[in-house]
Structure formats: structure tokens, C-alpha cells
Amino acid sequence: MSSSSSGSRALRAIVFGGLIAGAFDITYACVFFGLRNHVSPIRIFQSVARGALGQNAFLGGYKTAVLGLFFHFLIALIAAAVYFIASRALRFMITHPIICGILFGASVYFFMYGIVMRVSAIHSTTLPWNYPWGVLIPNLLIHMLGIGLPIALVTRHYSK
């Protein structure tokens, strides 16, 4: 396979994996928090922008909502890139995408809730495992099945 072809396959794996995972995750957030807490999608997108802007994200209207949606998909694309790059060295990530994708999704959850949300403008002090069960379990499941698994399966598809 030429380097141009492998570069194209890498880009497709990252873009498609990130976009699929991002779409699953943001849909989950809108449905879960929309139904549970009656939160609008605009407010959910702004809550993502809050990581960079702090509470001011909620004052920016559609502009900060769009920024939050951009950040959301950027994070998903970065997660897909991390998985793809790691799979180049750890070939079992390609040969065992289901278990690796699920474990990767759980790792993304612990990284986001254990590190990113603590050092971002959100400054969360809640440890990832200290959320109420009704929040923790669905959040873990979406990260494992809606983020990690699709990224792993798309990476495997483009790694053949």
C-alpha cells in the first residue's frame, strides 16, 4: 500500500470514527439531559464550551453553542486519532476491536471526567466514579459503546 493510500485511510478512520462517536455522544447528551433535566440542546452545547469559557459560555447564545459543538467534535476527533495512532503500535487494538474499543471508551470517560473537567474552566471536583449511579452508568455506557466501540470498529475497517 502506498504512503498516500495509507495516509488517506488513516484520515478516513480518524474523521469517520470521530464524527460517528461525536454524533452518538451528543445525541445521547441531548436525549439524556433533555429528558432527565429538561435541558435544551443549545444549553448542552454551551456546557461543552464552558470547559474553555467558564460560566460565561451560558451568556453567549448561539455563538457559544456553536463553539461548544465544535469543541465536542474536536474532542471526538482527537479521541479517534489517539486510538488510531495507538493501534499502529498495538496491533491487538485492530484484531480485537470490540474489547479494545469498550476499554478505550471507559478510558476516555475517566480521562475526561478525572482530568479534563478538573483542569478546564469547569473545575469539577467530583471524581469520575462519584457521580450518582443514574448518571455514572449511562455516561460510562455511552463512552464505551457510543464512543470507544465505533472508533475501534471504524479504525479496524480502515486498517485492513
Residue found by looking up cell 486498517 in the block: 159
Tens of pLDDT, residue by residue over 121-160, are: 999 999 999 999 999 999 999 999 999 999 999 999 999 8
Q: What is the mean pLDDT of residues 17-43?
A: 94
Three-class SS state of 39: coil
Lowest model confidence (mean pLDDT) among 19-28, 44-53, 121-130: 121-130
Please classify residue 42 by burial: count the beta carbons closer than 10 Å to its beta carbon, then call 0-12 exposed, 13-18 middle and 19+ buried.
Answer: middle
Task: Give the predicted TM-score (pTM) of the model.
Answer: 0.93
Three-class SS state of 90: coil
For the chain, the domains span 3-158
Tens of pLDDT, residue by residue over 61-114, are: 999 999 999 999 999 999 999 999 999 999 999 999 999 999 999 999 999 999
CA torsion angle 122 127 133 137 (round to 10):
80
Positive or negative, the CA dihedral 119, 53, 138, 104 is negative
